[in-house]
């Protein structure tokens, strides 16, 4: 079986850029001591990945719509977390929210696949619920393209 649950997946954050925006540069960055901060208490990672804009062309002579790929966007990652004001990763994410700079992230899945990317933390909001709710935070990352590189995959063997 090749499908799996999200259980055990993690997200790390750092303000330090990798020396190169490839698998080697990101691996070096995210294995350096001390390790970049782990963002704790994530309950929903949301989604991420490249999406292309649709470009259409309608030549009158043949009436058909020609569809082409235009520019791409690495995506938006909207996450839900259990709010932990003592969590080093959440504290750094709030710092990143108030910065115009890219921060650098590594998602590690249950089977060891890793996804590296640069992103801007656009939102980190507290979400108070009802009496039977865990106090949460909602965080939004806008994944960016750096030096022509977006999401870098390092898939487990």
CA 12 to CA 23: how far, in whole Å? 16
pTM metric for this prediction: 0.92
With vertex at residue 7, the alpha carbon angle to CA 104 and CA 9, rounded to the nearest 5 degrees, is 15
pLDDT at res. 147 = 81
pLDDT at res. 1 = 61
The token pair that represents 113 in the structure block: 């696949």
Q: In three state form, how does the secondary structure of 32-75 look?
A: CCCCCEECCCEEECCCCCCEEEEEEECCCCCCCCEEEEEEEECC
pLDDT tens-place values along the chain, 157 residues long = 688 999 999 999 999 999 999 999 999 999 999 999 999 999 999 999 999 999 999 999 999 999 999 999 999 999 999 999 999 999 999 999 999 999 999 999 999 999 999 999 999 999 999 999 999 999 999 999 988 899 999 999 7
Strand pairing report for 51-57 and 42-44: unpaired
pLDDT at res. 57 = 97
Beta-ladder partners of 77? 141
């Amino acid at each position: 079986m090749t499908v799996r649950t999200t259980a055990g997946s993690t997200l790390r954050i750092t303000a330090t850029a990798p020396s190169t925006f490839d698998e080697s540069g990101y691996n070096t960055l995210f294995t350096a001591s001390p390790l970049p901060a782990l963002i704790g208490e994530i309950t929903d990672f949301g989604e991420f990945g490249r999406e292309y804009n649709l470009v259409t062309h309608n030549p009158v002579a043949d009436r058909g719509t020609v569809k082409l790929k235009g520019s791409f966007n690495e995506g938006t990652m909207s996450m839900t977390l259990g709010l932990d004001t003592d969590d080093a990763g959440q504290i750094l994410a709030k710092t990143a929210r108030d910065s115009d700079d890219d921060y650098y992230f590594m998602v590690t899945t249950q089977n060891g696949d890793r996804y590296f990317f640069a992103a801007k933390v656009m939102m980190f909001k507290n979400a108070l619920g009802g009496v039977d709710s865990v106090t949460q935070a909602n965080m939004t990352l806008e994944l960016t393209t750096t030096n022509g590189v977006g999401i870098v995959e390092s898939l487990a063997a």
